[in-house]
Amino acid sequence: MHGSAVIAGKLLAVADRGGVVFDPAAEPEKAWCTVPTSLDLGWRGRAAAVGGVLYSYDFLGKIKGYDMVADKWRQVEGVDKELPKLRKAAVFGVGGKGAWRSEEMEIAIAGIKLSVVSSGGLQGSVEWSESVRLPVLKGSSIAYCISLEI
């Protein structure tokens, strides 16, 4: 499994291909189902649910958000020029906002305000960013990212 998140009270978990949704409020025989194909195809690496939207950082350096109702991924506008493009990065939620993290020799973290605009698109703005150099062994990684409401 490479990713999991909770959206609208449902647990979503995906692997390299395919994934499952668990709805604890559903009847036992309907509690488990597969994730929608479009969700599976767009979910890359660690992701976070913020405000009912699942956010993921793709290999092209874009942050995308998945709308479960529309079953569609949308690119977050407004953060392209403020974040470097890195091949190993992740998004996670803290206090109802998105955060972005890189795993290069230097760990870069940014707080991103995320919102859904009236047209249904996604908007983001970088509120803060920091870089920290840590003595990290080559090949190590951060295993988990979570969404934390403060």
1-38, pLDDT tens digit by residue?
567 788 888 888 887 778 888 898 999 899 999 988 88
Annotate 57-72 with b (16+ C-beta within 10 A) or e (fewer).
beeeebbbbbbbeeee
Query: Where does the pLDDT of residue 103 fall: very low under 50, low under 70, confident under 90, or very high at 90 and above?
Result: low
Cα angle, residue 62 at apex, residues 58 and 68 outer, rounded to 5°: 70
C-alpha torsion sign, points 78, 41, 48, 135: negative
The CB density around residue 90, as the number of other CB atoms within 10 Å, is 22
Least confident of 18-22, 80-84, 102-106, 130-134: 102-106
For the cut 70, the answer to whether the pLDDT of residue 91 exceeds it is: no
24-77, pLDDT tens digit by residue?
899 989 999 998 888 888 887 667 788 888 888 776 777 888 888 888 999 888
Residue type, 130: E
Contact of 63 with 89, CB cutoff 8 Å: no
110-129, pLDDT tens digit by residue?
777 888 888 888 888 878 77
